[in-house]
Amino acid sequence: MPRVSLTRKVRFAAAHRYSRPEWSEEENRHVFGLCANPHGHGHNYLLEVTVEGEIDPVTGFCVDLDALDRMLDERVRQPLDHQHLNHVVPAFAPGGAIPTSENILAYLWPTLAEAVPAPARLVRLRLHEEDGFHVDFVGGEAASAP
């Protein structure tokens, strides 16, 4: 059997800040550099969502793209676009997880894995925070099988 996947791009512009409240300003500056600036900064995030599925012999699609788009709009764009991640995502509030690309993907994986239009399934997330690097995330079985 061939393996077929579709990768959809979704964009959101957001602010974030890296800081551990239990550390001194010097420690934060040492570990997080400019990302520790007090009011945050921002990025045009580009998320790539890869889902795997069989090709439907009637429609020729491996996933219902309209349904996938609606899901990504509800679970990625509406909650995150034009927002400050530390303020709107409880997991990234002060004292919580740092909103790095790695943690943003760890946060998104379960909510996207459970909502990909069946029978397609989530197989990879990739997040570009800026042009110079990106992070890939492939969740474990437990995460993708609610």
Site for a copy of itself contains 19 (CB under 8 A) = no
- The single residue of 54, 84, 129, 134 carrying the catalytic annotation is 129
Q: Which helix (H) or strand (E) holds 49?
A: strand 41-53
Site for a copy of itself contains 146 (CB under 8 A) = no
Asked if 129 is an active-site residue, the reply is: yes
Site for a copy of itself contains 73 (CB under 8 A) = no
87: its two tokens:
């303020």
Which residues does 24 contact at the CB level (< 8 Å), separation at least 6?
none
Question: Residue 27, CB half-sphere, CA atoms under 13 Å: how many?
Answer: 6
- When binding is defined by CB under 8 A, the residue of 67, 75, 79, 97 that contacts a copy of itself is 97
Which residues does 128 contact at the CB level (< 8 Å), separation at least 6?
45, 46, 47, 48, 134
Asked if 82 is an active-site residue, the reply is: yes
Q: Which amino acid is at 62?
A: C
Residues 30-59 contacting a copy of itself, CB under 8 A: 31-35, 37-44, 50, 55, 57-59
Minimum Å distance from CB 37 to a copy of itself? 5
Contact 119, 86 (CB under 8 A): no
- The single residue of 30, 41, 74, 82 carrying the catalytic annotation is 82
Phi, psi of 78 (to 5 degrees): -60, -45
- When binding is defined by CB under 8 A, the residue of 25, 73, 74, 82 that contacts a copy of itself is 82
Binding site for a copy of itself (CB under 8 A): 1-9, 11, 13-16, 18, 20, 31-35, 37-44, 50, 55, 57-62, 65-66, 81-84, 86-88, 97-103, 105-106, 109, 130-140, 143
Residues annotated as catalytic (active site), given as ranges: 35, 82, 129
